[in-house]
Amino acid sequence: MSKYKPYPKYKESGVPEHWENHRIDWISTIIRGNTGFKKDELLDDGEYVALQYGKTYKVDEVNETFKFYVNSEFYKFSQVVHCGDTILISTSETVEDLGHSCFYNRSDLGLIGGEQILLKPNPKFVFEKYLYYASKVFSNNLKKYATGSKVFRFNIDHLKNIFISIAPLQEQKNIIFFLDQKIQKIDTLIEKQQTLIKLLKEKRQAVISHAVTKGLDDAVEMKDSGVAWLGDVPEHWIVSVAKFVSKIFVPQRNKPELNDIEGIYWVTMENMKEDYIHSSKTFVSKTAASKSGSRVLKKGAILASCVGNFGVASINKVDIIINQQLQAFIPNKINIEYLRYMVLISKNYFEMIGTASTLIYVNKEGFENLPITLPPLKEQKNIAQYLDQKTKQIDTLISKSTQAIELLKERRTALISAVVTGKIDIQNT
């Protein structure tokens, strides 16, 4: 941003000399959301846009792509959201996400949900989009008011302590026009990287699927596997099921008492972001494990979700205790890395045989009957090594795109901050 110049004169407070500082409640009406929409109450079409907390948590703009609705039984005049309003997230599981804001950019009416605060700008002082851009800056100040330990929140009184710098109305127009153009360009670059990541993940899955169902030799004779989603497999392979090559580990249903100091590592789906689990931030003491009847899963198993989130698998390199969202394969007649790759391509199988209420659940029998292709052990090892190499290459590209997105987001944030706080003058650009 070195090409932009600062304003000619600044006040002692650091804002341009002709700007004014205003408290949030002086320039906008503040409304707390008190209508809690449940997920199963949301409709695909309806009279009002349902701004449910979980649906706005990561969204920057509620536009026509937002497809969640409720009907008039939820209507409250005090909770109506109009085009140009800004929505703040007032409760979050992380301090970093607290105060996240999104702009309501629709002509139809919305209804605010719980755990949110609505800002309705006063047009005498501030344009709608300017207040939204300013919210991207003052949300950082809201984080210092965070209360709670596992769930963080701020309240309206905290919000009233926030002052923002307000440019004259004509200058606000220029700032909005400038930021809209710049942010659109940055967001387009972000979308391209996100599309690339999606394609790379699809390629990764295709590479794994081909290797564990067709092998590495394209000239080998094939036969019908007898399993529709596996298709043809090499003629010399055996098609079996998981219970014949591994034991299935099901955790104790009683949740043990947890701590963050010592004991056996406690593992949930949150730990399943890596291929290998070496540690956890949460522990179960031996006393707590004994009291709850929790079984220890020895290192060298393949963890997989039994409640949604299928297509993810991790190998535990340490002894752990797992929660009820997970089950595990303990291999005994199959290469562990090869079996993990088989689990990674089995999302459709689990979704097909699972029982659904609100989430699809797969029981022990479902895990036991997972179809498995069985090349000779040496070939299993070769396939696993090949996939280790190929997936590492793809993961490196995904990582580079992920880093590019983070840099673009940082650039986006820095640009908005510099402009709406008056650090740079964009009037003549």
User: DSSP letters of 20-72?
Assistant: EEEEHHHHEEEEE------GGG-BSS-SEEEE-HHHHSS-SEE-TT---EE-G
- Tokens 């089995």 -> residue: 346
Provide the residue type at 177 as one letter: F
User: Which amino acid is residue 21, in one-letter code?
Assistant: N
Type and span of the H or E element at 288: helix 286-292
Residues 6+ apart with CB under 8 A from 381: 335, 337, 338
Rounded mean pLDDT, 109-124: 94
Look at the block and give the residue holding tokens 């209507």. 75
What does the alpha-carbon distance between residue 331 and residue 248 come to, in Å, rounded to a whole number? 9
Domain 20-166 matches domain 238-374 at the CATH topology level: yes
- Assign domain 20-166 to a CATH class: alpha beta
Integer Cα distance of 297 and 303 in angstroms = 10
Strands 238-241, 246-249: pairing kind? unpaired
Contact 136, 419 (CB under 8 A): no
Confidence of residue 429 (pLDDT cuts 50, 70, 90): low
Instruction: Please state, in angstroms and rounded to a whole number, the distance separating the CA atoms of residues 310 and 428.
Output: 53
pLDDT the model gives residue 70: 93
Q: What is the pLDDT of residue 139?
A: 87
**Closest C-alpha among 143, 145, 159 to residue 28:** 159
pLDDT band at 220 (very low <50, low <70, confident <90, very high): very high
How much is the pLDDT for 411? 96
Q: Could you please report the per-residue DSSP string of 302-369?
A: EEEESBS--S-EEEESS-EEE-TTEEEEEESSS-HHHHHHHHHT-HHHHHHH-EESSSEE--HHHHHT
CB atoms near residue 388 (< 10 Å): 13
Cα separation, 25 vs 27, whole angstroms? 6
Indicate the CATH number for domain 1-19+167-216+378-429: 1.10.287.1120
The DSSP secondary-structure symbol of 60 reads: S
What is the rounded distance in angstroms from the CA atom of residue 147 to the CA atom of residue 344?
40
Counting Cα atoms < 13 Å in the Cβ hemisphere of 315 gives 14
Rounded distance between C-alpha atoms, residue 116 and residue 102, angstroms: 11
Q: What is the pLDDT of residues 287-322, one digit of tens each?
A: 999 888 899 999 999 999 998 888 899 999 999 999
Choice among 143-157, 169-183, 341-355 with the minimum mean pLDDT = 143-157
How would you label 193-214 residue by residue, b for 16+ Cβ within 10 Å and e otherwise?
beebbeebeeebbebbbebbbb
Task: Count the Cβ atoms, other than its own, within 10 Å of residue 287.
Answer: 11
- CA pair distance 78, 81, nearest whole angstrom: 9
| Amino acid occupying residue 101 | S
Cα gap 60→136, rounded to integer Å: 10
- Tokens 């090869």, residue? 338
- Third-level CATH fold of 238-374: Adenine-n6-DNA-methyltransferase TaqI; Chain A, domain 2 (3.90.220)
Task: For residue 111, give Cα distances in angstroms to 62, 302, 402.
Answer: 12, 44, 34
Residue 403: Cβ-neighbour burial (10 angstroms; 0-12, 13-18, 19+): exposed
> Is the per-residue pLDDT at 356 higher than 70?
no
Banded pLDDT at 253 (limits 50, 70, 90) = confident
Q: Does the pLDDT value for residue 358 go beyond 80?
A: no
Q: Within 13 Å and on the Cβ side, how many CA atoms surround 101? A: 24
What mean pLDDT value characterizes the chain? Answer: 93
Is the model's pLDDT at 357 over the cut of 60? no
How far is 11 from 54, CA to CA, in rounded Å?
41
In the chain, where are the structural domains located? 1-19+167-216+378-429, 20-166, 238-374
pLDDT above 60 (res 1): no
